[in-house]
Structure 1
Amino acid sequence: MRSITHKISIPSIVKIEKGSFDLIGDILIDDNIERVIIIIDQNMHNILSERIDKQFKKIKIEFSFLIVDTNLSLRKLSKTAYNLDNKTQLLLGIGGGSIIDRTKYISYLRKIPWISIPTSPSNDGISSPLSSLYIDNKRVSVPAKMPYGIIIDTNIIMNSPYHMIMSGIGDSVSNITAVYDMELESKHTRNQKDDFSVIFSLQSISSLMGLPIMNVRSEKFIESLLTSLVMSGIAMEMSGTSKPSSGSEHLISHAIDQVLEINNYPHGIQVGLSTYIVSRVQENCSKEINMFFTKTGFWEYVEELKIKKSVIVEAIKLAPFIKENRYTILSNQEYIDKAIRILDEDEYLKRVLF
Structure 2
Amino acid sequence: MPLLARSVQTPLHIEVRRGAVADLGKILADGRISSGGDVAVVVGPGLGEQIVELLRPSLTSAEIFVTGGGTLDAALELAGKLRARHFDAVVGIGGGKTVDTAKYAASRWGLPMVSVATSLANDGIASPVASLINDGIKGSYGVHIPFGVVVDLDFVDNGPDRVNRAGIGDVVSNISALADWELAREVRGEQVDGLAASLSRMGAEAILSMPGDMTDDAFVTTLAESLISSGLAMAVAGTSIPCSGGCHEIMHATDSLYPETASHGELAGLGALFCTFLRGDERRFKQMSDCLARHQLPRTPSDVGLDADQFVRIVEFAPRTRPDRYTILEHLAMTPDEVRRKLAEYDDAVAAH
| Same fold, TM-score > 0.5, yes or no | yes
Paired position in structure 2 for 1:11 = 11
Paired amino acid for 1:280: F
2:221 matched to which residue of 1? 223
Q: Does 1:201 align with 2:200?
A: yes
Q: Give the corresponding residue for 2:251.
A: 253
Between the aligned partners of 1:19 and 1:244, the Cα distance in structure 2 is 32
Change in 2 beyond 3 A, CA 1:263/1:294: closer
Secondary structure of residue in 2 paired with 1:16: strand
The CA distance in 2 between the partners of 1:70 and 1:179, in whole Å, is: 30
The 10-residue stretch of structure 1 (320-329 or 227-236) with the greater mean CA deviation from structure 2: 320-329
Structure 1 partner of 2:140: 141
Moved more, 296-305 or 276-285: 296-305
Contact 1:13 / 1:148 at 8 angstroms: preserved in 2?
Answer: yes
Determine the C-alpha separation between the residues in 2 that align with 1:13 and 1:101: 18
SS of 2:65's equivalent in the other structure is strand
In 2 relative to 1, CA 164–348 (structure 1 residues): closer, same or farther, beyond 3 Å? farther
What are the ranges of 5 or more consecutive residues in structure 2 without an aligned counterpart? none
TM-fit CA distance, 1:266: 0.9
Correspondence for 2:276 = 279
Q: Map Cα deviations across residues 153-188 of structure 1 (whole Å, 9 max, x no partner).
A: 112112210221221111111110101111211232
Cα drift, residue 53 of structure 1:
1.2
Q: Does 2:45 align with 1:47? A: no
1:177·1:278 contact (CA, 8 Å) conserved in 2?
Answer: yes
Cα–Cα, structure 1 residues 108 and 348, in superposed 2: closer, same or farther, change >3 Å? Answer: farther
Displacement of 1:151 in angstroms is 1.1
3-state SS of 2:127 partner: coil
Query: Gaps (5+ residues) in structure 1?
Result: none
Q: Deviations over 1:258-287 (max 9, x none)?
A: 221x33311111111111000111233111
Is the CA contact 1:343–1:349 (under 8 Å) kept in the aligned structure 2? no
Structure 2: distance between partners of 1:56 and 1:302: 46
Change (3 A) 1:86 1:348: farther
Structure 1 residues 27 and 271: alpha-carbon distance in aligned structure 2, compared to 1, 3 A threshold: same
Bigger Cα displacement from structure 2, 291-300 vs 138-147: 291-300
What is the root-mean-square deviation in Å for CA atoms of aligned residues?
Answer: 2.4
Report if aligned partners of 1:82, 1:110 keep a CA contact under 8 Å in 2: no
Cα deviation, residue 314, structure 1: 1.0
For 2:59, the equivalent position in structure 1 comes to 56
In structure 1, the residue matched to 2:88 is 89
Please give the alpha-carbon distance, in whole angstroms, between the structure 2 residues aligned to 1:331 and 1:54: 54
Letter in 2 for 1:137: G
What is the identity, as a one-letter code, of the residue corresponding to 2:35? I
Question: Is the 2:21–2:152 Cα contact (8 Å) retained in structure 1?
Answer: yes
TM-score (norm 1): 0.90
Percent identity, aligned pairs only? 26
Shift of 1:126: 0.2
Quote the offset at 1:233 in angstroms: 0.7
How far residue 204 of structure 1 moved from its aligned partner, in angstroms, is: 1.2
* Conserved? CA contact 1:174–1:275, under 8 Å: yes
Aligned residue number for residue 33 of structure 1: 35
State how far apart, in whole Å, the 2-side matches of 1:313 and 1:265 are.
Answer: 17
Contact 2:301 2:308 survives alignment (8 Å): no
TM-score, reference length from structure 2: 0.90
**Distance of aligned partners of 1:256 and 1:301 in 2 relative to their CA distance in 1, 3 Å threshold:** closer
- Counterpart-to-counterpart distance in 2, 1:333 and 1:301: 20
